[in-house]
Amino acid sequence: MRCWQSDPVTRDEPIRLGDSLHQVVRALRPETGPAAAPAAVMGGVFGRWEEAVGEALALHVQPVKLDGTTLVVKVDDPAWATQLKFLEGTLRTRLREVAGATIERIEVRVGR
Protein backbone atom coordinates (compact mmCIF):
# COMPACT_ATOMS: atom_id res chain seq x y z
CA MET A 1 0.00 0.00 0.00
CA ARG A 2 1.35 3.38 -0.98
CA CYS A 3 1.41 6.00 1.72
CA TRP A 4 0.73 9.65 0.91
CA GLN A 5 3.30 12.15 2.06
CA SER A 6 3.10 15.84 1.48
CA ASP A 7 6.09 17.78 0.36
CA PRO A 8 7.78 19.50 3.28
CA VAL A 9 6.42 22.98 3.77
CA THR A 10 9.24 25.40 3.07
CA ARG A 11 7.28 28.63 2.82
CA ASP A 12 4.97 30.56 5.08
CA GLU A 13 2.23 31.50 2.64
CA PRO A 14 -0.86 29.28 2.41
CA ILE A 15 -1.46 26.99 -0.54
CA ARG A 16 -4.71 26.76 -2.49
CA LEU A 17 -7.09 24.00 -1.43
CA GLY A 18 -7.29 22.85 -5.05
CA ASP A 19 -3.51 22.40 -5.18
CA SER A 20 -3.56 20.43 -1.95
CA LEU A 21 -6.45 18.26 -3.14
CA HIS A 22 -4.63 17.69 -6.42
CA GLN A 23 -1.60 16.36 -4.51
CA VAL A 24 -3.72 13.97 -2.44
CA VAL A 25 -5.69 12.62 -5.40
CA ARG A 26 -2.55 12.30 -7.50
CA ALA A 27 -0.89 10.28 -4.75
CA LEU A 28 -3.81 7.86 -4.77
CA ARG A 29 -3.88 7.37 -8.56
CA PRO A 30 -1.28 6.28 -11.10
CA GLU A 31 0.98 9.08 -12.29
CA THR A 32 0.61 8.17 -15.96
CA GLY A 33 -2.10 6.78 -18.18
CA PRO A 34 -5.80 7.50 -18.40
CA ALA A 35 -6.39 7.43 -14.63
CA ALA A 36 -3.92 10.28 -14.01
CA ALA A 37 -5.94 13.02 -15.72
CA PRO A 38 -8.92 12.96 -13.31
CA ALA A 39 -6.70 14.09 -10.43
CA ALA A 40 -6.15 17.47 -12.08
CA VAL A 41 -9.81 17.68 -13.08
CA MET A 42 -11.03 16.89 -9.57
CA GLY A 43 -8.63 19.42 -8.08
CA GLY A 44 -9.87 21.98 -10.58
CA VAL A 45 -13.58 21.34 -10.05
CA PHE A 46 -13.46 21.29 -6.26
CA GLY A 47 -10.60 23.74 -5.73
CA ARG A 48 -11.70 26.35 -8.26
CA TRP A 49 -15.46 25.96 -7.85
CA GLU A 50 -16.19 29.59 -6.92
CA GLU A 51 -14.02 30.87 -9.76
CA ALA A 52 -15.85 28.61 -12.22
CA VAL A 53 -19.43 29.27 -11.13
CA GLY A 54 -19.24 32.71 -9.52
CA GLU A 55 -19.62 33.84 -5.94
CA ALA A 56 -23.44 34.06 -5.94
CA LEU A 57 -23.94 30.51 -7.20
CA ALA A 58 -21.15 29.09 -5.01
CA LEU A 59 -22.98 30.34 -1.90
CA HIS A 60 -25.90 28.01 -2.66
CA VAL A 61 -24.45 25.19 -4.79
CA GLN A 62 -21.52 22.95 -3.80
CA PRO A 63 -19.87 20.09 -5.70
CA VAL A 64 -20.22 16.77 -3.90
CA LYS A 65 -18.83 14.14 -6.24
CA LEU A 66 -17.32 13.80 -9.69
CA ASP A 67 -18.20 10.41 -11.14
CA GLY A 68 -16.67 10.18 -14.60
CA THR A 69 -18.46 12.87 -16.59
CA THR A 70 -21.29 13.28 -14.07
CA LEU A 71 -20.97 16.03 -11.49
CA VAL A 72 -23.11 15.69 -8.38
CA VAL A 73 -23.91 18.98 -6.66
CA LYS A 74 -25.84 19.87 -3.51
CA VAL A 75 -28.09 22.92 -3.41
CA ASP A 76 -29.40 24.53 -0.22
CA ASP A 77 -32.88 25.23 -1.58
CA PRO A 78 -35.14 23.61 -4.22
CA ALA A 79 -35.29 26.94 -6.08
CA TRP A 80 -31.57 26.56 -6.88
CA ALA A 81 -32.22 23.08 -8.29
CA THR A 82 -34.65 24.66 -10.75
CA GLN A 83 -32.20 27.46 -11.54
CA LEU A 84 -29.46 24.93 -12.31
CA LYS A 85 -31.62 23.36 -15.02
CA PHE A 86 -31.44 26.66 -16.88
CA LEU A 87 -27.74 27.21 -16.11
CA GLU A 88 -26.47 23.68 -16.79
CA GLY A 89 -25.03 24.40 -20.24
CA THR A 90 -23.26 27.54 -19.06
CA LEU A 91 -21.98 25.78 -15.95
CA ARG A 92 -20.56 22.87 -17.97
CA THR A 93 -18.81 25.35 -20.29
CA ARG A 94 -17.29 27.30 -17.38
CA LEU A 95 -16.06 24.11 -15.69
CA ARG A 96 -14.40 23.08 -18.95
CA GLU A 97 -12.74 26.52 -19.31
CA VAL A 98 -11.63 26.98 -15.69
CA ALA A 99 -11.04 23.41 -14.47
CA GLY A 100 -10.49 21.45 -17.67
CA ALA A 101 -13.44 19.21 -16.78
CA THR A 102 -15.67 17.58 -19.37
CA ILE A 103 -19.03 17.37 -17.62
CA GLU A 104 -21.85 15.75 -19.59
CA ARG A 105 -24.43 15.64 -16.83
CA ILE A 106 -25.09 17.49 -13.58
CA GLU A 107 -27.03 15.64 -10.91
CA VAL A 108 -28.64 17.96 -8.37
CA ARG A 109 -29.43 17.00 -4.78
CA VAL A 110 -31.29 19.22 -2.35
CA GLY A 111 -29.88 19.35 1.18
CA ARG A 112 -28.70 21.70 3.87
Quote the pLDDT of residue 91: 94
Contact 74, 39 (CB under 8 A): no
Helix axes 37-47, 17-28, angle to 10 degrees: 150
DSSP 7-52: PPP--SS---HHHHHHHHHHHHS-SSSTTTHHHHHHHHHHHTHHHH
- Using DSSP, state whether 78 is helix, strand or coil: helix
Quote the pLDDT of residue 107: 95
Quote the pLDDT of residue 21: 67
Domain count, the chain: 1
Q: Which long-range contacts (CB under 8 A, 24 or more apart) does 26-35 make?
A: 27/2, 28/2, 28/4
Let me know if residue 47 belongs to a domain.
yes
Which residue segment(s) compose the domain that 23 sits in? Answer: 17-110
Let me know if residue 25 belongs to a domain.
yes
Quote the pLDDT of residue 83: 94
CA-to-CA dists, residue 72 to 14, 25, 62, 106, angstroms: 28, 18, 9, 6
pTM for the structure as a whole? 0.66
Let me know if residue 77 belongs to a domain.
yes
CATH number at residue 38: 3.30.300.180
CA-closest candidate to residue 62, choices 78, 79, 43, 45: 45
pLDDT along the chain (112 residues), means of 10: 52 71 62 55 85 93 90 94 94 92 93 79
Let me know if residue 5 belongs to a domain.
no
Let me know if residue 12 belongs to a domain.
no
- Using DSSP, state whether 66 is helix, strand or coil: strand
